[in-house]
Every structure is written in structure tokens, then in C-alpha cells.
């Protein structure tokens, strides 16, 4: 799929959908767009974000860049398109995956979530490099078609993002902590400050870098969030409980004048913040890992999520089918420094593999 021309349809031309359309056109795709808002559609055409509005025949790629509730509504149409076109692969970009994959259960639909965004909303903020350096989660499951997964994995890499495979349930649990809860905290803090500013107008003039950094995400498009947080409410509520416990411990320390406790928490947070991973960059030599696999449901999901569990980035993936047996071989390209970690994980899970050095 890399750099090959095809026909893509992007449904939803907001910031993410518009940026995806722009990135696809930059890769040489013919991109069609669709949006319920005629003004967004008009803007996308006038600013060369998409080639055409509506829906093409002979579709190769379908991307749903709409809220979760809209994906559920579109599910019957998506399934019909997939059944009618054996070459079509489809994905979405929603921030919650459980409901999406339950609504569109098809081997050539792979749930996705690019961990990227910007303060601007709508196609006006679209840019083809939005996903460069971002982590892009793909959620294969037991029925995922290996070829469809490989095509989407390659496409994500073409965008400059780092693909990461997670099971849908694990994705939803993790993003509750690193995305959904922080957004709700930012919203709460911003609203509290706004309400306080009604009595003290000088308050918001004092909002310097720290406050602006903490509340930046509150400026995002509010239309996409109700579906996300309600669908993922269980994991978010667990995160809120942990946050409440942390704030209560700080409150007790303040009441008791416990300087040491406060200093420890500040130091712990500083060290943890410094240890956050930076954008993945390929450096050094590469290895191709060949894993013989049987023709059974779930094997692709098992191997790709095994790599993610050891923080190993799969730079490329290929499926080599065997004429002599019912199985095949998964070929994974990884950095050589990750070979031992992935090898240990595969061995632990009972997989045989071989490795050969290749040049980047």
C-alpha cells in the first residue's frame, strides 16, 4: 500500500479526517470525502484537502473519522461495502475501540486510533504532517485478515506514525488514563477558572504557561467527546477514583503541613515526567523476524500485541503464504536492539522464529 495509488473515502472531514485526506493525497491517493456539514465539505474541496465529495466506485480504503455514535449508525453501510468489494480495507480513528469493533465485525475492518491532535477544529486545521511521530494504535482481533492488517500497518508508517497493536479492551483501559481522564480534568479546571473569573476578572489574565499547558486540550472539538467518555465510563471512573485519592493525600499533607510528603510527590512526578518516551526514531540496523504460523483465528493479533507488550515497534510487516501447508510466515521488521526482547516474548508464547539482519 505504501506510495501506491488507490481510491480512498474519508467520512468525516474534521481536523483528523481532513488531515488524513491531505496525507493520503500527498501519498498519491485519489481521495473522496464525505461530511454531513456542507460547509466542511465545501472547504475541503476549495482547499484541495480532497479531490471530490461523495463516494467513488472501486474503493480501496475507507476511513471513518466521525464520533463513535456515528460509526454505529454507519456500521450497516460499511459492512455492505466490505462485502461488495474484496479489495476494500476499512478503519476508523475513534478514541474508544470496544463498541466500534462490536458494531463492525469484519475481517477487513481494523480499528485504529492515532494519538494526535491540535487545538484547531474542523478542516481548517488540517495538515498532512499531523501524524508524524505519533503513536497509532491498531486493534486486530481473532478474525482480522492478515493482509488487511499489513496494508493498514504500512499506510500508518507512510504517514510518519509508529503503529502499535493492542487488543480493544486494553486500548480502552489505557487511553482512559492518558487521554480521556486528562481531557476531563482540563475541562473541569478550565470551567472552574472561568466561573471564578466572573468575580475576579484579573484571574484569567494571570493564566501563564502552566495553566495554559494543562488546559490546552479543553479547546478541542467538544462534539466528539460525549460518545467517547460515556462508552469508556468504567475505565474513566476508575481513573477518577485514583485521581481523587491522590488529591486527598495532597490535601491531608497540606492540612498537616507535611513538607516532606509534598516534596516527595513533586520529585516523583518530575522523574516520571522526564521518563516519558519520546517519538520513536529508527536508528541502527534492522532485523527481519520470520515466524511460522498456523491458519487459525487470532494468531496475527497474538504476535503483534506480543510485540507491543515488550514495547517493540514493528517497522514493517509482511505475510508470506505457504503452498505446502495451511499456514504461512509472518515477517516482522524490527530494530536489532529489540531482537532479544521480542525473541523472549515469542518463545514464552510458544512460537518458533528465525532472524536475519537487513539494512535500514
Give residue 345's pLDDT: 92
CA distance 306 to 351: 11
Question: What does the pLDDT profile of the chain (360 residues) look like in tens digits?
Answer: 444 579 999 999 999 999 999 999 999 999 999 999 999 999 999 999 999 998 778 899 999 999 999 999 999 999 999 999 999 999 999 999 999 999 999 999 999 999 987 666 788 889 999 998 889 999 999 999 989 999 999 999 999 998 999 999 999 999 999 999 999 999 999 999 999 988 888 888 887 778 888 888 888 888 889 999 999 999 999 999 999 999 999 999 999 999 999 999 999 999 998 877 665 555 668 888 888 888 777 888 889 989 988 989 888 888 876 544 556 788 889 999 999 999 999 999 999 888 888 765
Give residue 205's pLDDT: 82
Give residue 250's pLDDT: 97
Model confidence pTM above 0.85? no
Q: Sketch out the chain's domains with CATH numbers.
A: 7-167 (3.40.50.720), 171-251 (1.10.3660.10), 286-358 (3.30.2130.10)
Give residue 2's pLDDT: 44
Q: CB under 8 Å to 196, separation ≥6 — which residues? A: 203
Q: CB under 8 Å to 45, separation ≥6 — which residues? A: 33, 52, 53
What is the radius of gyration, based on Cα positions, of the chain? 22
CA–CA distance from 109 to each of 89, 91, 167, 316 (Å)? Answer: 6, 6, 14, 19
Mutual angle of helices 15-26 and 38-46, in 10-degree steps: 30
Amino acid at each position: 500500500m505504501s506510495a501506491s495509488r488507490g481510491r480512498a473515502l474519508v467520512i468525516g472531514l474534521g481536523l483528523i479526517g481532513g488531515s488524513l485526506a491531505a496525507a493520503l493525497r500527498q501519498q498519491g491517493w485519489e481521495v473522496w470525502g464525505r461530511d454531513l456539514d456542507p460547509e466542511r465539505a465545501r472547504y475541503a474541496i476549495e482547499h484541495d484537502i480532497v479531490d471530490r465529495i461523495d463516494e467513488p466506485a472501486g474503493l480501496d480504503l475507507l476511513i471513518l473519522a466521525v464520533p463513535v455514535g456515528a460509526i454505529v449508525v454507519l456500521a450497516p453501510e460499511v459492512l455492505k461495502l466490505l462485502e461488495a468489494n474484496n479489495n476494500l480495507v476499512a478503519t476508523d480513528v475513534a478514541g474508544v475501540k470496544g463498541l466500534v469493533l462490536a458494531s463492525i465485525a469484519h475481517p477487513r475492518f481494523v480499528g485504529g486510533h492515532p494519538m494526535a491532535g491540535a487545538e484547531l477544529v474542523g478542516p481548517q486545521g488540517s495538515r498532512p504532517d499531523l501524524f508524524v511521530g505519533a503513536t497509532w494504535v491498531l486493534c486486530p482481533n481473532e478474525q482480522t485478515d492478515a493482509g488487511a492488517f499489513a496494508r493498514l500497518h504500512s499506510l500508518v508508517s507512510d504517514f510518519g506514525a509508529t503503529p502499535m497493536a493492542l487488543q480493544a479492551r486494553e486500548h480502552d483501559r489505557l487511553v482512559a488514563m492518558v487521554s480521556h481522564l486528562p481531557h476531563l480534568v482540563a475541562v473541569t479546571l478550565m470551567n472552574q477558572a472561568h466561573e471564578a473569573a466572573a468575580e475576579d476578572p484579573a484571574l484569567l489574565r494571570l493564566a501563564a504557561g502552566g495553566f495554559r499547558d494543562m488546559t490546552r486540550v479543553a479547546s478541542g472539538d467538544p462534539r466528539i467527546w460525549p460518545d467517547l467518555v460515556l462508552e469508556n465510563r468504567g475505565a474513566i471512573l476508575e481513573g477518577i477514583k485514583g485521581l481523587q485519592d491522590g488529591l486527598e493525600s495532597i490535601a491531608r499533607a497540606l492540612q498537616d503541613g507535611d513538607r516532606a510528603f509534598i516534596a516527595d510527590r513533586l520529585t516523583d512526578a518530575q522523574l516520571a515526567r522526564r521518563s516519558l518516551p519520546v517519538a520513536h526514531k529508527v536508528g541502527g540496523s534492522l532485523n527481519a523476524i520470520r515466524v511460522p504460523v498456523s491458519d487459525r483465528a487470532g494468531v496475527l493479533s497474538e504476535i503483534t500485541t506480543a510485540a507491543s507488550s515488550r514495547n517493540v515497534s514493528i517497522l514493517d510487516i509482511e505475510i508470506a503464504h505457504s503452498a505446502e501447508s495451511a499456514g504461512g510466515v509472518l515477517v516482522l521488521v524490527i530494530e536489532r536492539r529489540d531482537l532479544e526482547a521480542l525473541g523472549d516474548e515469542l518463545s514464552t508464547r510458544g512460537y518458533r522464529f528465525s532472524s536475519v539482519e537487513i539494512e535500514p
